[in-house]
Structures are given as structure tokens and as C-alpha cells.
């Protein structure tokens, strides 16, 4: 029988419990198992066998929540090291992301709690894992199937009609699941149809644009990436109260992805330098060059010197588009100002604002702190920004009874930071201790970090130079797998390090996880090539992995 785990006691720090009230000085938090069993102030008796974490001079916060990510195999350590203990995945192949979720929950792979929906509903599919219902009946059938498979919430994206949205929402509501949306028209009819929240604050600016001039300007925005930000420079403030009061009354959650505005706030060079310094850590050597290039060049592409030379359209990176398109600085600054005024009015009316970053389009983990900083720059108080990343974020997940605040009976997700985030929100970056599910996390980086569940197919952004594959023969090689009795693992793959793979043949051993094995043992799977194959990866891609950064929205 395994020995009983000793309790953990965090004491002496200033407690910000996530509820928005006055901080508690000299607090004591007792954790037994994976639950918080006591929260006291002042001198308190603690179990003799407890492991003590001295938080004197520091601040105790709930574990942080990133409510908009597109999880990838390399994300786990980056999130944990920055105090992010829960994430909501907004788009991935369903089998893969559920395997990631379950493996992390079982402690087989380091990472934050994952809440997932799969690929989501689309008006037009742009990836294999996107679902395109033909009508409301088809949407209900698909939604019920997702519920049966065990998703944590439902998602709809651009081009989905209000009728189909209503059908999806009805199924979700019956199962106790929330529905989130990424919109391109007014949020009002979608909120009335059952959407519980929106990504990128999409549909909010559009709901305020009523003048003919504004509508004409909105109609001129053709590129979908530009639609993330550009509508806010057209938002009509005289209509804010009507929309914010409506959203507050409905309880709709708004995830503005405010970190995406950082380049327009003069943060580009500073953030890129921070990313550069972080990526120098030898423990992060497993991160692919492609991802590093995107993060280090990201804000330069979104807004910068190149914007004065490139045409007003999406900038292509390799064979994919850039992140946000290019807008004039004056337009970006005005848009952020109007977004901030909207968010402040929404919070004042009792509405819900949550944090979300779209990572790994931006560097996972660190970007959540930047997102909170941008919320403060937009006009929210540091306490409101912290609540957006904790209590309100947990409510959006549908987990307010389990996560988001430091209270007796809740799951033990908390962090200890140096400094006082209420005086300076950037102090949330100064992570000292991370506890997730009652376990003290290792928040260092490890060069041998390995996530054995490879993503089965990709929709990638690539940095410069453009990756290429030369001299492949035959054009198609079939890779049937000898499957274990339970579960299956599927999907083509290429050698990660490049070079000649003509020797790849029968009984080549690779490792993977077979979903359905509750113990998630990482056992060898044997792959056989049905026909001989030769080829060489082009020099520009050699040595890079096939990991990706973003591609869903």
C-alpha cells in the first residue's frame, strides 16, 4: 500500500483568494490530498507531518486559467512554469486532445488541466477535425455524439447560422456543457440563441456598429484574421451601454484575447526580447525552430517596420498566413482604446471578462501574464484582471465549484508569487511555487521533456525559410499499424530529424499511446511500410520537428 501523502501548508503570505475581496495577510492554506481543507489568517495550528511552504513577503493566488489555447505537444512545461494550471483548448483533433487531457490527468505527462471540445462547428471546414453540419438536425446529431465522447464544452466558429447554433446550444445545455463562439457578426442574436461566451470579443464591436459609415467600414474588412482586431476602431461608443447591459444580464463571457493588441501598445520589442531570453534556456532545447521563429518574429509581423512595406493583406509565412494582418498604428491604438472602454463598462455592469491568449500563436504561459497586463492597460483594475484569470475563468469552464478560488473544499490549484500583483500586475510573472491538484509542481525546464502522444495531423504556421520536401518516391506510402487488442493509434509520420529514410521498413519501432488503455503505458507500436520508399527532407527543414504553433482561431 502506498504511503499516505503528507499535507501541504502554505503560510505567511498575503492571500488573494480570487473572490475579489480584501486580501488576507499572514494567511495559512492547508492542503490534504488534492483538496484545500482549511484557509486561516494569523497564527494557525498545522499538521505536524505537513510540508511547509514559507510564503512570507509573497502573495498566494489561485492557479491561473488560460481560456483560449490550441494545445500542442510542447506546451506542458511552459504553462506550468508560469503558474497556468488549467487551459481550455479551442481546436484540435478530438481523439488526440482527449488523450492529452486524460494522460495529464493521470500524471503521465506534465501539464495543466485541459478542457477540450475537439475541432468545433464551422460554416466551412479548413481542417480535417472541423465539423460542418448541414442543418440543425445534423448539428444536434453531431453535438450528441460529442457529448457521448466526453468533451468538456462545445464550440462554434465562423459561418455557423443562428439556427444551427441554437440546436448545438440546446444539446449542450441538456448535458450541462457551455457553448463558446467565434463570431463575425453581432453577438446579440447568438447570445439569445444560447452562446455562453465568445472568443476575441468577437461580435461585440459589430453589435455597436449601427451607422452607415460604420457598416460600410465593417464590410470592407475581408480577411478573417483582420476581423480579430479591426472592427474595434469602428465601434460606436454611444451603443455600448445597450450591448454591455444585455451581455451582463445574459451572463455572457467575453474573452478579448487582449494580448494580441500588445504590438499596438509599444510592447513589441520588449516582449520579443523577453521571449528571446526565455528561449535561451537550455532546458527548452526541445522547442522546434519553427515555433521559435514565430514567437520571435510574431509582433514584428503583426505590426512594425515591415508593415510600412508590405501590402495591406495577410503576410505569408512559408505556405501559411501571418497571425493578425497589418493595421496602421493609429487604427490599432484607437481600437484598443475603444475595446478597453467596452470591457470596463461590461465589468461595471456585472458582466464577465476572462483571460485567453491563443497560445501557442504567442508563447504559452508567459503570454497569459501579458494578457492580464493588457487588461489593466485597457482600464481594468489588477484585481479584476486576476479574477478574469481565476474565478471568472473557472466559471466559463463550468467549474466554479471546483476551481478558480482558494476556499475550503476546492481543488488545490494555487501559486505563490514574489511581490504584490495588486500594486503591480507584472508581479504575477514572479512565480515561486505552483501547486496543481495538491501536488507541488516542478517548474523547471528539462531538455529531455517528451510528450509521447504525437499530434496526428497538422495545420501549421512555419517561419522562414519555407520548409520543403524533395525527391519523394513513391508519392504515397501506406503505413498500416499492427494494433493492440484495445484501442488504436493511427496517422502518417515523417522522420523528425530529416535525412534519408529509405531504410525505413518493416517492424520499425516507434512509441505511442493507445487511448483506451487506462494506465497509458507508453508501449512500442510496430509500423510496416507497404511498399519501399525513398526520399530526403529538404535542407531548410532538416533538424526541425513537425510541431506547430497555431491554426484554428
Domain 1-62+386-453 has CATH 1.20.140.10: no
CA distance 87 to 393: 10
pLDDT of the residue at 318 = 30
CA distance 114 to 327: 34
Pair type for strands 508-512 and 523-527: antiparallel
Cell 502554505 sits on residue: 10
Between 484 and 28, whose confidence is greater? 28
CA distance 216 to 196: 29
Of 356, 162, 125, 314, residue with least CA distance to 230:
314
What percent of the chain has a predicted confidence (pLDDT) above 90? 62
User: pLDDT tens digit string along 229-264?
Assistant: 889 999 999 999 999 999 999 999 999 999 988 867
Evaluate if residue 444 carries a pLDDT over 80.
yes
pLDDT of the residue at 502 = 34
Please provide the average confidence, as pLDDT, over all residues in the chain. Answer: 81
pLDDT of the residue at 539 = 33
**307-346 residues labelled b (16+ CB within 10 A) or e (exposed):** beeeeeebbebbebbbbbbbbeeeebbbbbbbbbbbbbbb
DSSP 447: T
Of 268, 292, 90, residue with least CA distance to 181:
90
User: pLDDT tens digit string along 155-211?
Assistant: 998 889 999 999 999 999 999 999 999 999 999 999 999 999 999 999 999 999 999
Banded pLDDT at 497 (limits 50, 70, 90): very low
User: pLDDT tens digit string along 65-120?
Assistant: 999 999 999 999 999 999 999 999 998 989 999 999 999 999 999 999 999 998 88
> CATH 2.30.40.10 residue ranges in the chain?
1-62+386-453
What is the pLDDT averaged over residues 482-510?
A: 35
Banded pLDDT at 305 (limits 50, 70, 90): very low
For 128-132, 370-374, 512-516, which range has the lowest pLDDT when averaged over its residues? 512-516
pLDDT of the residue at 275 = 94
For residue 535, give Cα distances in angstroms to 360, 457, 493, 500, 526: 31, 20, 13, 6, 21
Q: What is the pTM of this model?
A: 0.82
By the 10 Å C-beta count (0-12 exposed, 13-18 middle, 19+ buried), 385 is classed as: buried
CA distance 57 to 336: 35
CA distance 331 to 264: 9
Pair type for strands 320-321 and 352-353: unpaired
Between 267 and 83, whose confidence is greater? 83
Evaluate if residue 524 carries a pLDDT over 70.
no
User: pLDDT tens digit string along 213-230?
Assistant: 999 999 988 766 677 888
pLDDT of the residue at 455 = 87
Neighbours of 274 (CB within 10 A): 15
What is the pLDDT averaged over residues 293-309?
A: 53
Banded pLDDT at 405 (limits 50, 70, 90): very high
Please, what is the Cα angle at 496 between 70 and 443, to 5 degrees? Answer: 50
Between 465 and 445, whose confidence is greater? 445
Evaluate if residue 314 carries a pLDDT over 50.
no
Compute φ and ψ for 339, nearest 5 degrees: -60, -45
pLDDT of the residue at 296 = 81
pLDDT of the residue at 293 = 79
pLDDT of the residue at 478 = 46
Neighbours of 525 (CB within 10 A): 18
pLDDT of the residue at 128 = 67
Of 235, 251, 130, residue with least CA distance to 194:
251
pLDDT of the residue at 306 = 38
pLDDT of the residue at 354 = 99
What nine digits make up the cell of 120? 468545433
Count of residues in the chain: 553
Amino acid at each position: 500500500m502506498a504511503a499516505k501523502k503528507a499535507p501541504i501548508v502554505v503560510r505567511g503570505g498575503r492571500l488573494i483568494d480570487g473572490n475579489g475581496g480584501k486580501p488576507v495577510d499572514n494567511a495559512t492554506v492547508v492542503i490534504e490530498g488534492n483538496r484545500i481543507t482549511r484557509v486561516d489568517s494569523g497564527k494557525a495550528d498545522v499538521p505536524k507531518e505537513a510540508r511547509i511552504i514559507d510564503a512570507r513577503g509573497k502573495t498566494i493566488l489561485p492557479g491561473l486559467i488560460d481560456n483560449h489555447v490550441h494545445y500542442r505537444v510542447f506546451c506542458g512545461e511552459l504553462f506550468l512554469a508560469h503558474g497556468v494550471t488549467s487551459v481550455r483548448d479551442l481546436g484540435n483533433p478530438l481523439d488526440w486532445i482527449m488523450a492529452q487531457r486524460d494522460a495529464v490527468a493521470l500524471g503521465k505527462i506534465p501539464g495543466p488541466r485541459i478542457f477540450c471540445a475537439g475541432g468545433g462547428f464551422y460554416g466551412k471546414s479548413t481542417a480535417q477535425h472541423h465539423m460542418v453540419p448541414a442543418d440543425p438536425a445534423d448539428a444536434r446529431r453531431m453535438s450528441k455524439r460529442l457529448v457521448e465522447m466526453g468533451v468538456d464544452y462545445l464550440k462554434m466558429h465562423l459561418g455557423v447560422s443562428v439556427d444551427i447554433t441554437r440546436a448545438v446550444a440546446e444539446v449542450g445545455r441538456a448535458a450541462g456543457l457551455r457553448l463558446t463562439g467565434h463570431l463575425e457578426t453581432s453577438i446579440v442574436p447568438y447570445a439569445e440563441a444560447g452562446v455562453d461566451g465568445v472568443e476575441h470579443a468577437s461580435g461585440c464591436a459589430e453589435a455597436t456598429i449601427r451607422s452607415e459609415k460604420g457598416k460600410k467600414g465593417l464590410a470592407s474588412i475581408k480577411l478573417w484574421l483582420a476581423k480579430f482586431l479591426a472592427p474595434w476602431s469602428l465601434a460606436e461608443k454611444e451603443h455600448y451601454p445597450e450591448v454591455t447591459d444585455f451581455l451582463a444580464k445574459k451572463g455572457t463571457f467575453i474573452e478579448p484575447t487582449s494580448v494580441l493588441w500588445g504590438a499596438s501598445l509599444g510592447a513589441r520589442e520588449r516582449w520579443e526580447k523577453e521571449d528571446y531570453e526565455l528561449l535561451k534556456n537550455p532546458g527548452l532545447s526541445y522547442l522546434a525552430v519553427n515555433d521559435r521563429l514565430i514567437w520571435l518574429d510574431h509582433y514584428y509581423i503583426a505590426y512594425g517596420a515591415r508593415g510600412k512595406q508590405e501590402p495591406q493583406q495577410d503576410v505569408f509565412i512559408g505556405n501559411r498566413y501571418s497571425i493578425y494582418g497589418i493595421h496602421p498604428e493609429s487604427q490599432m491604438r484607437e481600437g484598443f482604446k475603444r475595446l478597453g472602454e467596452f470591457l470596463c463598462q461590461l465589468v461595471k455592469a456585472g458582466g464577465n471578462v476572462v483571460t485567453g491568449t491563443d497560445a501557442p500563436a504567442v508563447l504559452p504561459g508567459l503570454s497569459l501574464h501579458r494578457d492580464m497586463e493588457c487588461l489593466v492597460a485597457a482600464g481594468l483594475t489588477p484585481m479584476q484582471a486576476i479574477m478574469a484569470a481565476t474565478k471568472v475563468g473557472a466559471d466559463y469552464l463550468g467549474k466554479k465549484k471546483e476551481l478558480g478560488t482558494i476556499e475550503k473544499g476546492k481543488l488545490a490549484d494555487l501559486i505563490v508569487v514574489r511581490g504584490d500583483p495588486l500594486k503591480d500586475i507584472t508581479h504575477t510573472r514572479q512565480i515561486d511555487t505552483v501547486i496543481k491538484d495538491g501536488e507541488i509542481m516542478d517548474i523547471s525546464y528539462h531538455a529531455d521533456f517528451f510528450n509521447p502522444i504525437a499530434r496526428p495531423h497538422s495545420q501549421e504556421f512555419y517561419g522562414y525559410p519555407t520548409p520543403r520536401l524533395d525527391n519523394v518516391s513513391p508519392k504515397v506510402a501506406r503505413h498500416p499499424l499492427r494494433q493492440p487488442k484495445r484501442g488504436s493509434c493511427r496517422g502518417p509520420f515523417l522522420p523528425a530529424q530529416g535525412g534519408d529514410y529509405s531504410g525505413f521498413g518493416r517492424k520499425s519501432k516507434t512509441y505511442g499511446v493507445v487511448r483506451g488503455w487506462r494506465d497509458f503505458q507508453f508501449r512500442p507500436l510496430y509500423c510496416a511500410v507497404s511498399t519501399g520508399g525513398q526520399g530526403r527532407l529538404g535542407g531548410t527543414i532538416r533538424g526541425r520537428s513537425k510541431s506547430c504553433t497555431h491554426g484554428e482561431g
